[in-house]
Amino acid sequence: MTTMVHARAFGNIALIKYWGKTDGNANLPATSSISLALDSLKTETTIRQLSHGPDEVVVNGQNGQNGANQRVIRILDNWRSEGLLSGHWTIFSQNFFPTGAGLASSASGFAALIKALSTVAERKLDETEISRLARRASGSAARSITGGLSAVEIGENPSAREILPPREIPWGMVAIIVDDNHKKIGSREGMEHCRLNSPYYPAWVEQSRKDYKAMLTAVEKRDFTSMGRITESNCLAMHACMMAARPPLNYWNPATLAVMHHSAQWREEGLENYFTIDAGPQVFLLAKKENLEDLARRARNIIGVQQALTALPAGGAEIIACG
């Protein structure tokens, strides 16, 4: 019997954003999404069976009753109540990048956890089911199960599917960190606030559905310029929806805006790149692999930029060891 599993997953950054839910309990997305998994956003998680309860959770060195740990315990409780898991577990999870600052930490964290748990589940789970279970834990985590360029399409109980495997992806990203403090309002709370309090929310959902279809076509044609333009517009539409909420939700700081302006300027000079921003101040530049180092070097010269990390496409969640 397996009593220890060590799993790894990579975070992903969405080109078409998931922002809004149709149902709070099943964690069903209101918008379809497409993202790129990135090798610089790695989480490793070890689970070990305990002889008795309660479960023990340590996420990034933090144990105790914080929000992240309680979310993990709720997942274990759900799995047990559905007969998917037995016994109690110690969960040890470590991110290899700044956590909670809009760097997709919930995607890689929950994907690694769900992948590890799937190995000790009471019945055999295929990748679709694992991705569904990851989506239930955190919407973006579904896409880190499959990795590469992955999509989650809205529906009754969606899972992610890989649209392009890493080896066929000629693009990567530069993650530009302009503030590594823990974000004040997490995605879960932020998207619900927009659904309830932003007059632009219905327009966001409608536009995003069109962007999703247009992005699938652009990817199919490997039309990088169209992909980039749709990525930027979709990101700005999501942030417009946030900013229009009452009270407003604004994740940007002056350096966020400075990077956005430089990105456009570099593009005009012939260095093709496109920005996207999640629920945090950090900026991600989408570019062809051969331009990533140049972009990172330039970004480091902008006032307010703390770090610029290049990131290549990564695969799906994996089991590294079992015992």
Give the footprint of ligand DP6 on this chain (CB under 6 A).
Answer: 14, 17-19, 27, 33, 106, 138-140, 187-188, 278-279
Minimum separation from the CB atom of position 162 to ligand DP6 (A) = 16
Give the pairing of strands 283-288 and 171-177.
antiparallel
CA distance 25 to 45: 25
Closest approach of ligand DP6 to the CB of residue 265, in Å:
25
3-state secondary structure of 5: strand
Strands 88-95 and 56-59: parallel
- Give the CA diameter of the chain: 62
Residue at 251: amino acid letter: Y
Q: What is the closest distance, in whole angstroms, from the C-beta atom of residue 160 to ligand DP6 in the complex?
A: 11
Which is closer to ligand DP6, CB of 178 or CB of 298? 178
Cβ distance to ligand DP6 smaller for residue 241 or 279: 279
Angle at which helices 67-81 and 105-119 cross, to 10°: 30
Q: Is 37 helix (H, G, I), strand (E, B) or coil?
A: strand
Q: Which is nearer to ligand DP6, 12 or 291 (CB)?
A: 12
For ligand DP6, the closer CB: 138 or 291? 138
Q: Closer CB to ligand DP6, residue 122 or residue 189?
A: 189
> Least Å distance between CB 228 and ligand DP6?
17
Least separation in angstroms between residue 106's CB and ligand DP6 is 4
How far is residue 169 from each of residues 12, 287, 292, measured CA to CA in Å?
14, 11, 14
For residue 152 the two structure tokens come to: 């989650």
Residue with Cβ nearer ligand DP6 (26 or 264): 26
Residue among 166 and 190 whose Cβ is closer to ligand DP6: 190
Q: Coil, strand, or helix at residue 91?
A: strand
Nearest in space to 20 (alpha carbons), one of 197, 147, 141, 146? 197
| Distance in Å, CB of 281 to ligand DP6, minimum | 12
In the complex, least distance from residue 299 CB atom to ligand DP6, rounded to whole angstroms: 20
CB of 55 to ligand DP6, least distance (A): 20
| Alpha helix positions (H), 11-63 | none
Q: Which of 208, 140, 176, 193 shows the shortest CA–CA distance to 281?
A: 176
DSSP H helices, the chain, are 67-81, 105-119, 127-137, 141-146, 187-197, 201-220, 224-244, 254-268, 292-300
- Of the pair 106, 291, the CB lying nearest ligand DP6 is at 106
